[in-house]
């Protein structure tokens, strides 16, 4: 809380984004929609692009309350013609659309590569053709480091992917850096750690994309938390802090061509489970063995060093884990019907597009 922005070129976020055109790919998902809400509040002209792939986290309820302030366009980032039209005239492009499941990436690696690498590359290609002045932000993952050689892991740590999702993210990062160096298309990459909060996907009942939403869902429903192993260590970023980092990095010329870790409070899975049960007002744990297919791609204990972004942009986490979980549990208790059942969620979304603002060029 005592960070001081070191970069003298930092403008206020309002100054950077008010009236500016901001494209968010994956904008109906967890992080994209929280970013859209924040940008709309700053007075930006927000264009959300989302493919609404059924298994992923796109949910029209995520933009409830800002429907008339944002434009929604359903398209896949792999569609070259759509992207070429959509990137035109944008000031900021948040290249967030992605397949986020590590386990999923091992079972369907070609899809993971296409969504996480070819899609963002396709957005970069569209910018090369028609918009070389936009500033891009790419969301990568701490999984690119693999199993840490030292803790906390800084940006100089070797990239040693142990799952396919990490490979596709490394490539996504590197394409952004190549386009900056070779074509002058400005971008910044953030390596996100475990991010949690309102608007995250809840319809999956197996915990295959992440364990934190899975536990939140189970504790709210009064089911025991299924803890696989328990000694794994992770650090957690509350969604508002993640969004703040994205805005700071997008707004800052000093961040061009850079990659930054985010971070947060490190703890073991077992410790997290205890905090969550306490926050929820009760719950039980059930410890099971870490299944072999998860063990093969588990990084063990990992925590990120985020001093680089603190020094460069003045960012640091402002919401502690307990406070963040309190807000999260409250949000889902209030909106359970909008997130829990995949079939219901889909039914609610029929016709939702027509309820949003019109063509983005208006």
Question: Which residues contact a copy of itself by CB under 8 A?
Answer: 80, 106, 109-110, 113-114, 117-118, 121-122, 125, 158-159, 161-164, 166-168, 170-171, 174-175, 177-178, 181-183, 296-297
- Length of the chain equals 362
Q: Which is nearer to a copy of itself, 180 or 196 (CB)?
A: 180
Cβ proximity of 213 and 196 under 8 Å: yes
At closest approach, how far in Å is the CB of 308 from a copy of itself?
16
* Extended strands (E) in the chain: 21-25, 45-50, 70-74, 92-95, 135-141, 187-192, 194-196, 225-228, 233-238, 259-261, 265-268, 285-288
Structure token digits, residue 217:
């869902």
Q: Which is nearer to a copy of itself, 95 or 319 (CB)?
A: 95
Residues with Cβ within 8 Å of 308's Cβ and at least 6 positions away in sequence, in order, are: 154, 155, 260, 261
End-to-end CA distance of the chain: 41
At closest approach, how far in Å is the CB of 209 from a copy of itself?
18
Q: Which is nearer to a copy of itself, 59 or 116 (CB)?
A: 116
At closest approach, how far in Å is the CB of 153 from a copy of itself?
15
* Extended strands (E) in 8-126: 21-25, 45-50, 70-74, 92-95
User: How far apart are alpha carbons 77 and 74 in whole angstroms?
Assistant: 10
Q: Which is nearer to a copy of itself, 166 or 312 (CB)?
A: 166
At closest approach, how far in Å is the CB of 125 from a copy of itself?
6
At closest approach, how far in Å is the CB of 6 from a copy of itself?
25
At closest approach, how far in Å is the CB of 262 from a copy of itself?
21
Q: Which is nearer to a copy of itself, 14 or 291 (CB)?
A: 291
Q: Which is nearer to a copy of itself, 174 or 356 (CB)?
A: 174
């Amino acid at each position: 809380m005592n960070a001081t922005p070191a970069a003298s070129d930092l403008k206020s976020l309002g100054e950077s984004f008010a009236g500016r055109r901001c494209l968010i790919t994956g904008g109906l998902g967890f992080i994209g929609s929280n970013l859209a809400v924040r940008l709309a509040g700053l007075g930006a002209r927000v264009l959300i692009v989302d493919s609404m792939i059924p298994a992923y986290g796109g949910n029209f309820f995520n933009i409830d309350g800002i429907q008339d302030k944002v434009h929604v366009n359903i398209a896949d980032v792999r569609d070259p013609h759509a992207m070429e039209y959509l990137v035109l005239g944008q000031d900021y492009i948040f290249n967030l659309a992605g397949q986020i499941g590590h386990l999923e990436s091992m079972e369907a690696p070609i899809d993971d590569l296409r969504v996480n690498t070819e899609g963002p590359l396709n957005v970069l290609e569209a910018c090369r053709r028609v918009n070389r002045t936009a500033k891009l932000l790419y969301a990568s993952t701490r999984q690119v480091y693999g199993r840490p050689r030292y803790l906390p892991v800084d940006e100089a740590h070797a990239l040693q992917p142990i799952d396919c999702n990490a490979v596709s993210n490394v490539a996504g990062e590197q394409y952004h850096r190549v386009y900056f160096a070779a074509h002058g298309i400005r971008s910044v990459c953030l390596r996100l750690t475990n991010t949690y909060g309102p608007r995250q996907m809840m319809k999956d009942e197996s915990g295959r994309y992440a364990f934190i939403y899975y536990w939140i869902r189970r504790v709210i429903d009064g089911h025991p938390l299924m803890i696989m192993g328990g000694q794994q260590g992770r650090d957690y970023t509350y969604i508002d802090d993640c969004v703040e980092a994205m805005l700071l990095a997008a707004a800052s010329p000093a961040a061009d061509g850079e990659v930054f870790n985010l971070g947060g409070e490190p703890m073991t899975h077992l410790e997290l489970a205890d905090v969550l049960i306490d926050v929820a007002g009760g719950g039980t744990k059930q410890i099971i063995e870490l299944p072999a297919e998860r063990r093969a791609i588990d990084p063990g204990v990992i925590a990120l060093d985020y001093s680089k972004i603190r020094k460069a942009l003045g960012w640091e986490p402002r919401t502690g884990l307990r406070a963040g979980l309190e807000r999260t549990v409250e949000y889902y208790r209030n909106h359970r019907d909008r997130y829990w059942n995949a079939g219901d969620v889909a039914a609610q979304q029929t016709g939702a597009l027509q309820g949003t603002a019109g063509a983005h060029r208006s």
